[in-house]
């Protein structure tokens, strides 16, 4: 499980932070929630759940959208120049695309597809951004 570190060197599992917003607080009940997990995933897999006649990969918490910067078992690609403080290719591309989105408004899904293509081009190793959602489409 991924641990999140704060400035005071306290650690909390990512799942616990997610639970604060999905099940431990009524304020966010039935409201869409977006989590961005920019960390190596190890072999973590989203849970599979049966819906109708087919199985679908999803997160059990409702109204939750999780953006993973890598696929399971893959490492994060960091920018070639750590002196610039850019961080991972995903973080760099995410910030660039979202900044561009203030000029020409696109859907989140379109932006994530653009980010995925940019990361893939930068990494040259086919890193793919995985998106899981339980938000119902209307």
| Tens-binned pLDDT, residue by residue, of the chain (138 aa) | 556 666 777 788 888 888 888 877 788 878 888 888 877 665 555 555 555 665 555 545 678 888 888 776 666 666 555 565 556 788 888 988 999 888 888 888 899 999 988 888 877 654 455 666 666 655
Q: Which letter does DSSP use for residue 53 in this model?
A: T
- Residue 115 to residues 52, 55, 62: CA-CA distances in angstroms? 32, 27, 25
**Segment 4-29, tens digit of pLDDT:** 666 777 788 888 888 888 877 788 87
Cα 108 vs. chain centroid, distance in angstroms? 12
Q: Which letter does DSSP use for residue 80 in this model?
A: S
The CATH fold assigned to 3-133 is Rossmann fold (3.40.50)
Per-residue pLDDT, 66: 84
Query: What is the C-alpha separation between 52 and 7, in angstroms, rounded?
Result: 45
Per-residue pLDDT, 97: 92
Per-residue pLDDT, 101: 84
Q: Are 115 and 97 in contact (CB under 8 A)?
A: yes
Per-residue pLDDT, 126: 45
CA-nearest of 35, 16, 15 to 135 is: 35
């Amino acid at each position: 499980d991924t641990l999140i570190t704060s400035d005071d060197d306290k650690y909390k599992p990512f799942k616990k932070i997610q639970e604060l917003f999905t099940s431990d607080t009524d304020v966010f009940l039935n409201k869409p929630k977006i989590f961005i997990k920019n960390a190596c995933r190890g072999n973590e897999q989203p849970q599979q759940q049966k819906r109708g006649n087919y199985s679908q990969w999803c997160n059990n918490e409702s109204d939750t959208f999780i953006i993973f910067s890598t696929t399971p078992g893959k490492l994060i690609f960091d920018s070639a120049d750590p002196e610039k403080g850019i961080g991972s290719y995903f973080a760099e591309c995410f910030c660039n695309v979202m900044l561009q989105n203030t000029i020409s408004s696109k859907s989140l899904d379109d932006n994530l597809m653009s980010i995925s293509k940019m990361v893939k081009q930068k990494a040259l190793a086919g890193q793919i951004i995985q998106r899981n959602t339980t938000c119902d489409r209307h």
